[in-house]
Each structure stands twice: as structure tokens, then as C-alpha cells.
Structure 1
Amino acid sequence: MKDLEGLFKHFVKDIYYAEKQVLKTLPKMARKATSEDLKEAFEHHREETEEQIENLEKVFEILGLKPRGVTCDAINGILDEGKEIMEEAEKGDTLDAGMIAAAQAVEHYEITRYGTMISWAQTLGMTEAAELLQKNLDQEYAADEKLSKLGEDSLNREAA
């Protein structure tokens, strides 16, 4: 990581690892959700995450690299917190509210990573990579908004 391109390559590997871990976790969250709307949101985002991984694989191709992640301690910690909530939160609305919070922590991490990577790709003249990353960022913002709406419209009040 001696220059911006090196940092960019590292972050691509980092977010690739993160998306792969999220892909493994979303089905577990969908199974635990008691709200049908939340279950559907997790299932829909699993499909989007598959698309995001494909977009990242295209970025690897642009960079001339084999798709490979590097361990991301940040996402591992966020996902561990989510597992703790799924194991310890009271079933029903309380569990759903906790899973929304855990899922939003993941979304916010991804949003910061994608935002930075898009800026770097543009600086490096990697327009196609920036466009692929922007698609992922747009999906992350939409997922975060959907989770906020679910929490604010009903689940948070019901958990109270």
C-alpha cells in the first residue's frame, strides 16, 4: 500500500471479503426474523449482495487481479455483534429491532468503504470501476433506508 492504487486494491479485497461474510449471514438473519417484511428485506438484500460480489469481481478483472479477499476485522466485529443480538435478544419484535440495528451497522460500514473507493477510482481514472462500485453503493443506501423505515414505522415501537 505504497500509493493510492495500492490502497484501492487493498480496499477492494477488504470489501470483497466483507460482502462474502455478509452473504453467509443474511440467510441466518432472515430465518430469525419474525416480521415478514424484515425477513423479505434480508432475503432481497442477499440477492443484491450476490450482484455486488459479481460487480467486485469485475473490478478485480479491471485491476488484473484474481478475486480474493483479505480478512476484514471490522466486518467480523460487526457481524459478531449481530450474532450476539440474535442469540441473546428476546424473540419477536425485540429481536427484529436488534437485527435491524446490527444490519444497519453493516450497511454503514459498506457505505463508507464504497464511498471512499469510488472517490479513489475516479482519482485513478478507473471510470468503469467507479461505476460498478456506485451500483453497489446505491444498493447499500437503499437497504439502509428500507431498514430505517421498517424500524421507525413499526418494529421499534412494538419492541418498546
Structure 2
Amino acid sequence: MKATKSKKASKQITETDSAKLKELFVDGLKDIYWAEKNLAKALTKLAKNATSEELKAAFEQHTTETEEHAKVVEQVFEMIGEKAQAKKCAAMEGLIEEANEIIESTDKGTMVRDCGLIMAAQKVEHYEIASYGTLRNIARTLGHNEVADLLQQTLDQEGETDHKLTELAEAYVNEEASVE
């Protein structure tokens, strides 16, 4: 099937449109900034509650990466001439709460808990992947190609983390959880 451009898609972006899109972009940055800062704290708790050493190590590594991601967002704010500010991210708040509920509802020292923690962490990763992908695309539209490149690097790391979690689940966590 041949793709066709709609009339709207080929419309020139006006200054007003650009200002509105930049406002949306900045709002998205504030959201992901809050998300990264609060996720770093949550990942420490996930690592503490993980059963397998490999999962603990994955959460600890991602904690360090998440702290770096917050710094990247600060750099993006600076690059676009905005003050780095966080705005409460209801989505991340809910995902962190869900992870806490998994900790509370599973037995300590079990692979069932690890399976649940992987599930919660992958939901977080998918939220971040969606956020960074969208922000990268908006940055490109606004002509901020260096910003887009930085956001792409973070997006790539989020994807790698998601793949690592899948590998842990498939390697042994899910199987061991199924026989507990």
C-alpha cells in the first residue's frame, strides 16, 4: 500500500505552532525529569527486594543509568534555553506504586517476587521508551538535532535495559517462579 501525505502533514509550521509544540516539549521534559529522579529512588528499593543476584545487579546498574538520564534531561533543558524543572509525573508515580504493591503482595526471597519485579520494571521501561521516543521526534521537528541525538542515546539505553530484563526472565526467573 502506497503511503500518501495528508494536506495537514504538509502544512508549514508557523511560529505559533512552533511555540505550542515547544511548550509541549518542555512539559514532556519536566515530566520525564520528575520520572527519572523518582525512579532512581524506586530502583534502589527494587534492588533491595530482588531475590536473584543478577536481578539485583541489573537494578543497581539501572539506578546509575537513571541518575545519568536525569543529568541528560538537565543538559537538554540547558541546550534549549530553559530552566530544569520537574513536574509530577502521574504515570511514573503509578508505576512505582504498582512495583511497591508487588513487593508487598509477594513472598520475600522468591522467584515469584523477581518475576513481578521484572514485570513492574519493564512497564517502567516501556513508559520511558515511549516518552524519550516522542521527545526525540518533537526535538527533531523543532530543529533541535543535537537534543534529538542525546535523547536517542537515552532511548537506546532504555531499550537495552528492557532487553536485559527479558533475558533474565527467559533465562531462569520465570521457569523457577513456575515451580515455587
Q: TM-score range by the shorter chain?
A: over 0.9
- Residue 130 of structure 1 corresponds to which residue in structure 2? 148
- Residue 31 of structure 1 corresponds to which residue in structure 2? 48
The alignment's C-alpha RMSD in Å is: 1.2
Gaps of 5+ in 2: 1-16
How far does residue 90 in structure 1 lie from its aligned partner after superposition? Answer: 2.1
> Of the candidates 128, 146, 149, which is equivalent to residue 167 of structure 2?
149
TM-score, normalized by length of structure 1?
0.97
| 1:1-80 → structure 2 map (5 Å cutoff) | 3-80=20-97
CA distance in 2, matches of 1:26, 1:48: 11
Matching residue's letter, 2:142:
L
TM-score, normalized by length of structure 2?
0.86
- Following superposition, which runs of at least 4 residues in structure 1 exceed 4 angstroms of deviation? none
Q: Does 1:139 align with 2:152?
A: no
| 1:56-135 → structure 2 map (5 Å cutoff) | 56-91=73-108, 92-135=110-153
Higher helix fraction (1 or 2): 1
How far does residue 73 in structure 1 lie from its aligned partner after superposition? Answer: 0.6
SS of residue in 1 equivalent to 2:30: helix
Gaps of 5+ in 1: none
Larger radius of gyration: 2
Matching residue's letter, 2:23:
G
Matching residue's letter, 1:115:
G
Q: What's the CA shift string for 1:65-84, capped at 9, x where partnerless?
A: 22111011111111100000
How far does residue 105 in structure 1 lie from its aligned partner after superposition? Answer: 0.4
